[in-house]
Structure 1
Amino acid sequence: MHGTGPSYGKWVAGKRSKWVTLLVWVLIALALNLLWPAVGDKEENHAANLKETVPSVMAEAIADQEFPSNGGIPALIVWHKENGLNEGDLAQLQELTASLESDPLPYQSFVVPFHKLPPQALTAQLSEDQSTLVMPVLFDEDQETDQLKEGTGELELRTEQLLGSNPFQAPIQSGDGISARITGPVGISIDATGLFADADVSLMIATVLLVLILLLLIYRSPILSLIPLVAVGFAYMVTSPILGFMADQGVITVDSQSIAIMTVLLFGAGTDYCLFLISRFRQLLWHEPDKRKALFQAITSSSGAIAMSGFTVVLSLFALLLAQYGAYQRFAVPFSLSILIMFIASLTLVPALLAIFGRGSFYPFIPRTPEMQAEHAQKKGKPVKAPHKEKESWIGRVVTTKPWTVVLVALVLLGGLATFSSHIKFTYDLLSSFPEDVPSREGFAIMGEQFSEGELAPVRLMVNSNGQTLDLGERLQSLEYVDRVSEPQNGAENNNIIGYDIELAMNPYSMEAMQHIPDLREVAEASLREAGVSNPGEAVWISGQTATQYDTEIAGEHDAKLIIPVVIGLITLLLLVYLRSVVATVYLIATVILSYFSALGLGWIIIHYGLGAEAIQGAIPLYSFVFLVALGEDYNIFMISSIWQKRKQMPLKQAIKEGVGETSSVITSAGLILAGTFAVLATLPIQVLVQFGIITAIGVMLDTFIVRPFLVPAITTLLGKWAFWPSKSHMATEEKQPLQVENNA
């Protein structure tokens, strides 16, 4: 629980070493950025999320092998005209497919040859009101989004040359004009990447401005406001090329979503670590005339808590490496490495900058000792101000005089909010996280209205019949949740493998559709079993987006059951080592977990009842848990550290009162900044980030304004000396201290 001593401060913030520290950071940042690529240059937004042994992935491999004619990534071009597509329109579309077949688009593998269909057959492809036609164009598999975008861009260009206008930019509801939208896997992929690409720049600008404005409002010092931003900037400049190098070497995979959240995390958590040190430095400057001594004392008293907080977050985020689901796993290294470098910067670069600027860091409200204030006022010819006094914390007084009331009110409030977390509905539908005016979502909406929604992403069911006659097609068609079943196809390499394309009578991306995957498997196995096929469970494969999402849900549930206990265990171990108190560790962990469920509950109230969302993305609870439990524990650690240190010189209640008062302003400002940076995510057009930002920001605010200032110190007051159990040193102090106070009296 002790700091690292004045010698450490001299190493990083001494008379000469402060310049060495700054120079080292500058040289490292320059060297790494010159030698290695930035992380943003090595994004890979189509990395596999599911392992090769997952059923839907194995089924996809079987489908590619046995039904290669359908191989490729489909782009579904939805052509729509309110008053109906006429013969002239269809002739132009036939001309377009002829052009695409004779002169394929970049990376195009196949196009449905509408130009070879007789007019009557083509008309049969239209929707019932003759207003809509879906044209599938397939692109080579394993292509990056940039290549897919190049191909669809060429498609738009050719279409505009053929029709004389660009239907991809035309409004959908115009009566006379023809409109086109690209949906399906290609359209969704392009739109998702575009949304995240736009988010990167706007997110960075918004986060920097927000942190700067909050720091200026809270501390009213331009220099002080820039010091954390400079530290975060250097941390990012060091983190980015290291991650870029690791991605370039194939050690890790990074995507735009992880980079976006990493940026927020750096600014939010990084600024917090800086403020922990800065606030302690300012407190000491009111009493210590030597700025160097004040800085060394600040480093000594706060470095332990900062390091502990940093390690807590780093290890919690690193636990994501245990995940089966790729998106979770890809977050682990970028997040944990960025926090590791950030708290190193807060313990080296920030002290060096504070040593360079000294008291001027707080200009124009410079903290001075009473003697220095008198001397300064004399020079300026102004009256001497009253000496600075720390204001008594009313919160500290309340939690020590009415602890039972505080605990009961806090538990009722947090517990009440937590009950709403059991009402949350989840979705794994990527399309639902897009704004409604995104082309792929618009195209999907038209298809759902004019055709079957299931046509957007059919389920491919394959069985090995072993040469037996099956009634599987009839069984599938009789299911109430199935809209259409294709004619059976025989495998290219194994003639006994039979494939069916199944269009569901619902949104294939919905949770309802996902839950029918086990039903389809059961129906197929029953058909095989009755036909006399042995081991039917090993002779059924189901692929397609619905099956992939079902396996995603299974993987997510597995990861949550594994990672959540691991994170709790790691934080528990760190707290035990740091505090040497079993009791304190238990209630610190318990209060943060309670605030997590409260954040989920309040987040659901806002997202569902306030914003009208039917469900939240399935990945959010695990993401939010890892962030909130780790970051929420930061504030507890910082406050408890202050109480534990003061406990050595004064009675426990006084230590709690002063500890709460001493840390309240810095934790409040740090919490506002951290919550604000996560709230910036809510301004983005991507629902998964909006929902994650809202829930995480709420959790930080609950920790900042309820758990840390009220609940934790009130519980500590109620427990008294047992809060330190089994640490004997604190219990001994408890017994000796009242005698000392009595004698003084």
Structure 2
Amino acid sequence: MTTIARFLSGRITAWITLAASVVVVGLLFAVIPSSESDAFPSAGLPDTAESARVSALLEEFPSADATVGILVWSREGADLTDDDLAAITERASALATVSTAPQAVSPQVSDDGAAALVVVPLDAADVEDDVAGTATELRELASDDLPSGLDARLTGPVGFQDDVAGAFAGADVRLLLITVIVVAVLLIVTYRSPVLWIVPLAVVGTADGLARVVVTGLADAVGVTIDASIGGILSVLVFGAGTNYALLLVARYREELLVQEDRHAAMTTAVRSAGPAIAASGGTVALSLLTLLFASLSGNQALGFACAVGVVIAILFALIVLPAALVVCGRGLFWPFIPRVAHGAHAERKPGFWTRLGRGVSRRPAVVAVSAVVGIGVLLLGLGGYTVGLSQTDQFLGSPDSVLAQETIDESFSAGLTSSTTILTPDDAVDDTVALVEGVDGVDTVQTGESNDGFTALSVTLDAEPESAAAFDTIRSLRSDIAEADGDVASALVGGSDATALDTNDAAAADLRLIVPIILAIVFVILALLLRSLVAPVLLILSVLATFFASLGAGNWIFLNLLGFPAFDANVTLYAFLFLVALGVDYNIFLTTRAREERARFGTREGMIRALSSTGGVITSAGILLAAVFAVLGVLPVVALTQVGIIVCIGVLLDTLVVRTVLVPALVFLTGDAFWWPSTRRSVGAHGDVSTPRNEHETRELSGS
């Protein structure tokens, strides 16, 4: 590491490193083919899922290339007038001209007379080529020359697909812009310099741009689909993690500038000291993300691949490009608080906030630890009512057309009218299957459809709202009753949109059960190797798990009582666990590696106080910045991303302001040298040197604390 650090920081080699980085990045931007991300997130179920098997068989049916747009007319609860009905009939005739089955396009008026709908069969391939254009055309035809007060809205497969795509329209630019502004403001506040923030922001921003190009360029080669939601999370993670690594490196570099006249030598020391912690932290995040490749949902696999690549690129930029750029710019980059060697002689300075906090915790570690655990326990109470699975209409913030139309259908028609449940049954068992299905609670109607290759399709309408808990219960009942039936009926398969959503939730739960132990094992091994201890990793992992469950509880309370979200999206718990554990370990590594370094000179107790004094301000700044960056996910009108952003934001703040600040030091003070077991290095006596930690005052200046 020393040789690499010297090369990156050398008087000539720093310029060479920076120039070579610019050339390599430019070539990568030019050579890697550009590729657009998918706007619409797919289910990504494994082929073995029952709904996936139904979808595969339906592709061979004559109507495989068909989809529908459903238009709904209403007067906000008032009855439709004769003029309304005449206009709707006229609009249905216009919609029939763009349908693949014009004869099927006819108005249906609800029994209460408050709404009417038209189902427009369409060619699925044409819709997929231009979802937005198709949706716009249907809306225009449905709303042209309507009586005043009569509204037309689009729902069904085309409507929801268009609204989801619209929710992500411009997401990349919007997320990037807001993220850059948030990071820039926080860096200016942290560094208190009008120029210093530009370098890390430029480096991290370039890393983000390169990560996008590399990920989308490699996506086809590795067989993954990168949709807009993954692209948004990728940017947030690269900016958050990259800026965290930059904060740690800059802080250590500034410390060394206070005791070394040669800035190149100072950067060499900074890279040699902070580099292993940054590499270990980033490596933990990357390896944790790669565990998603074992997931069954292809969306989880794609997220793991994309974000792992992004984190690796962020690490490389933080350890290669950033040191060279900082050295080339010189000390003046820190203006107006330019670090000078003369400032390092501050032994007479009073202990700062972090030293006083560390000593306060060391005097009553048991009280502090119990208080922190009780506080975390209070947040755990928020897990009451925790459920997973959002209905189709609950997945948006706000009320797009498809949601409002579905609400009208729920009130005036059958709630399940817009969803499609398809049962494929052997041709010889059609009558028996129909009889069985009609007897299942929650089934509204059953219609026999077309046949192909020994299977007949049954179109089933449920009573429940699409993708709701009631709809899932009905799907489970159908599958259970079919499996227990006699003869060929037991070979029938249940698929469709509700079945797909149910299978997705079940697969997400299975992924959570599989991935969590693997991530914990990876974190334990990395911490054990880095800290050369078996006790420390256990305590640190327990602290991270406590943070995760507390933030999940706090998030659940906020969702249920303040934001009105009835449940968690299927993948939110896994994503929150992944980011909180992996990123929480970052701060563990930053603190404990410094504590281990100081322990060699001052012993376990004083070493932790000095580590907290040196890293407290930096970790706090990094945590606040990371929390703010993840909160940016809330700008998109998608509940799942908002939930991930809020939970991670809460968890990171809890981790940096409570767990890493007082709980972990308290645990170290309680366990003493046993924290580092089986390390045999003896602790320095309790009456060793307890002077103010080196450069604490300057570290506090940098962090703004």
Instruction: Give yes or no for TM over 0.5.
Output: yes
State the Cα distance separating 1:475 from its structure 2 match.
4.5
Number of residue pairs matched by the alignment: 688
- Does the Cα contact within 8 Å between 2:187 and 2:197 map onto a contact in 1? yes
CA distance in 2, matches of 1:685, 1:467: 45
Asked if residue 73 in structure 1 is aligned to residue 67 in structure 2, the reply is yes
Correspondences of 1:127-146 after superposition (within 5 Å): 127-141=110-124
Where does residue 705 of structure 1 map in the other structure? 657
Q: Structure 1 residues 142, 387: closer, same or farther in 2, change over 3 A?
A: farther
Match of 1:214 among 186, 199, 222: 186
In structure 2, what residue type is equivalent to 1:679?
A
Alignment equivalent of 2:361, drawn from 381, 384, 399: 399
Q: Between 76-85 and 708-717, report the one with greater CA deviation.
A: 76-85
- Between 1:715-724 and 1:44-53, the stretch displaced more is 44-53
User: Deviation of residue 551 (structure 1)?
Assistant: 0.6
Question: Is 2:129 aligned against 1:186?
Answer: no
User: Taking structure 1 as reference, are residues 405 and 112 closer, same or farther at Cα in structure 2, changes over 3 Å only?
Assistant: farther
Counterpart of 1:262? 234
Matched, 1:60 2:55: yes
Distance of 2:103 and 2:258 partners within structure 1? 78
Match of 1:427, SS state, is coil
Is 1:334 paired with 2:306? yes
- The answer for the alignment partner of 1:518 in structure 2 is 476
Given that residues 391 and 465 in structure 2 are in contact (C-alpha distance below 8 angstroms), is that contact kept between their aligned partners in structure 1?
Answer: no
| Pairs within 5 Å for 1:51-200 | 51-66=46-61, 68-69=62-63, 71-81=65-75, 84-85=79-80, 89-90=84-85, 92-101=87-96, 103-104=97-98, 109-111=100-102, 113-114=104-105, 125-141=108-124, 147-159=130-142, 163-164=144-145, 176-200=148-172
| Higher mean displacement: 625-634 or 345-354 | 345-354
**Which amino acid in structure 2 is aligned with residue 411 of structure 1?**
V
Cα separation, partners in 2 of 1:639 and 1:233, compared to 1, 3 Å? same
CA distance in 2 between partners of 1:46 and 1:407 (Å): 43
1:670 deviates by: 0.2
Residues 1:690 and 1:143: Cα distance change in structure 2 (over 3 Å)? farther
Equivalent in the alignment of 1:688: 640
1:369 Cα deviation from its structure 2 partner: 2.3
What is the correspondence of 1:467-486 to structure 2 with a 5 Å cutoff? 470=432, 472-482=433-443, 484-486=444-446
Identity of aligned residues (%): 32
Alpha-carbon contact 1:145-1:190 (below 8 Å) kept? no
Give the equivalent residue in structure 2 for 1:119. Answer: none
Q: State the partner residue of 1:363.
A: 335
Counterpart Cα distance in 2 of 1:474 and 1:244: 49
Q: Give yes or no for contact 1:476–1:485 (8 Å, CA) kept in 2.
A: no
Residues 671 and 38 (structure 1), Cα distance of their counterparts in 2 relative to 1, 3 Å cut: farther
| 247-256 or 472-481, larger mean C-alpha shift | 472-481
Q: What SS does structure 2 have at the residue aligned with 1:222?
A: coil
Deviation at residue 292 of structure 1 after TM alignment: 1.9
Task: Give per-residue Cα distances to partners, 1:116-136, cap 9 Å, x unaligned.
Answer: xxxxxx5xx201233322212
Cα contact 1:97–1:112 (8 A) shared by 2: no
* Amino acid corresponding to residue 546 of structure 2 in structure 1: L
Q: C-alpha separation between the residues in 2 aligned to 1:48 and 1:559?
A: 14
Aligned partner (choices 18, 36, 41) of residue 22 of structure 1:
18
Distance 1:593 1:256 in 2: 29
* Amino acid across the alignment from 2:104: P
In structure 2, relative to structure 1, the CA distance for the partners of 1:358 and 1:561 (3 Å cut) is same
CA distance in 2, matches of 1:390, 1:304: 28
Residues 618-647 of structure 1: CA distance to partner in whole angstroms, max 9, x if unpaired? Answer: 211000001000000000100001110011
Per mean C-alpha deviation after superposition, the further-off stretch among 452-461 and 257-266 is 452-461
Alignment of 1:629 with 2:581, yes or no, is yes
Q: Please give the alpha-carbon distance, in whole angstroms, between the structure 2 residues aligned to 1:516 and 1:23.
A: 63
Change (3 A) 1:491 1:279: same
Q: Which amino acid aligns with 2:616?
A: S
Which residue matches 1:351? 323
Post-superposition shift, 1:489? Answer: 3.8
1:492/1:321 CA distance change after superposition, 3 Å: closer
Distance in 1 of aligned mates of 2:532 and 2:344: 41
CA distance in 1 between partners of 2:660 and 2:13 (Å) = 36
Residues 112 and 135 in structure 1, CA contact (< 8 A), matched pair in contact too: no
What's the offset of the Cα at 1:146? 5.4
Q: Is the 8 A contact 1:29 1:237 kept in 2?
A: no
Structure 2 CA distance for partners of 1:603 and 1:469, relative to 1, 3 Å: closer
- Measure, in 1, the Cα distance between the counterparts of 2:592 and 2:276: 12
- Report the 3-state secondary structure (helix = DSSP H, G, I; strand = E; otherwise coil) of the residue aligned with 1:680: helix
CA distance in 2 between counterparts of 1:284 and 1:389 reads 20
In 1, Cα distance between equivalents of 2:178 and 2:688: 54
**1:485-524 pair list within 5 angstroms:** 485-489=445-449, 491-494=451-454, 497-524=455-482
Partner of residue 171, structure 1: none
SS of the aligned residue for 2:560 comes to helix
CA contact (8 A) 2:294 2:301 kept: yes
Structure 1 pair 440–739 and aligned structure 2 pair: CA distance change class (3 A): closer
Equivalence map 1:273-292=2 (5 Å) = 273-292=245-264
SS, match of residue 51 in structure 1: coil
> Which residue type is aligned with residue 488 of structure 1?
T
Alpha carbons 1:433, 1:687 under 8 Å: kept: yes
Aligned residue number for residue 40 of structure 2: 45
| TM-aligned CA deviation for residue 85 of structure 1 | 4.5
Q: Is residue 2:626 matched to residue 1:674?
A: yes
Report the AA paired with residue 30 of structure 1: G
Quick check: 1:202 aligned with 2:174?
yes
Distance 1:322 1:109, change over 3 A: farther
What is the aligned partner in structure 1 of residue 698 from structure 2? none
- 1:349-377 deviations in Å (ceiling 9; x for gaps): 1111210122112111112122799xxxx
Cα deviation, 1:523-570, whole Å, max 9, x if unaligned, reads 3345x41xxx15x53x11111111111111111111111111111111
Once the two structures are TM-superposed, the CA of residue 77 in structure 1 deviates from its matched residue by 1.3
Structure 1 window deviating more from structure 2 (260-269 vs 13-22): it is 13-22
Give 1 or 2 for the bigger CA radius of gyration: 1
- What's 2:425 paired with? 463
**Residues 633-685 of structure 1, C-alpha deviations (whole Å, 9 max, x = no match):** 00010000111001111122111111111100000000000000011122332
Equivalent in 394, 408, 426 of residue 370 of structure 2: 408
Q: Which moved more, 1:83-92 or 1:348-357?
A: 83-92
> Which blocks of at least 5 consecutive residues in structure 1 are unaligned?
116-121, 168-174, 374-384
Contact 1:79 1:134 in 2 (8 A): yes
Deviations 1:30-69 (A, max 9, x none): 2222222445x24363545112221011122334445x34
| Residues 225-234 or 515-524, more deviating | 515-524
Deviation per residue, 1:176-199 (Å, 9 max, x gap)? 433211111111111111111233
Matches within 5 A, 1:535-550: 536-537=489-490, 539-550=491-502
Aligned to 2:674: 722
Q: CA 1:50/1:575 → structure 2, altered by over 3 Å: closer, same or farther?
A: same
Letter in 1 for 2:548: Y
> Which runs of 5 or more structure 2 residues have no equivalent in the other structure?
691-705
**Relative to structure 2, which stretch is displaced further, 459-468 or 513-522?**
459-468
Could you say if the C-alpha distance between residues 365 and 615 of structure 1 is closer, same or farther in structure 2, counting changes exceeding 3 Å? same
SS at match of 1:516: helix
- Contact 1:580 1:727 survives alignment (8 Å): yes
Contact 1:45 1:254 in 2 (8 A): no
TM-score where L is the length of structure 2: 0.92
For 1:485, the aligned partner's letter is: T
Change (3 A) 1:503 1:229: same
Matched position secondary structure for 1:18: helix
Comparing 7-16 and 590-599, the one that deviates more: 7-16
Indicate the SS of the match to 2:423. strand
For 1:652-671, what aligned pairs fall within 5 Å after superposition?
Answer: 652-671=604-623
Which residue, out of 374, 397, 403, partners 1:435? 397
Aligned-pair RMSD on alpha carbons?
2.6
User: What amino acid maps onto 1:139 in structure 2?
Assistant: L
- The answer to whether structure 1 residue 233 and structure 2 residue 205 are counterparts is yes
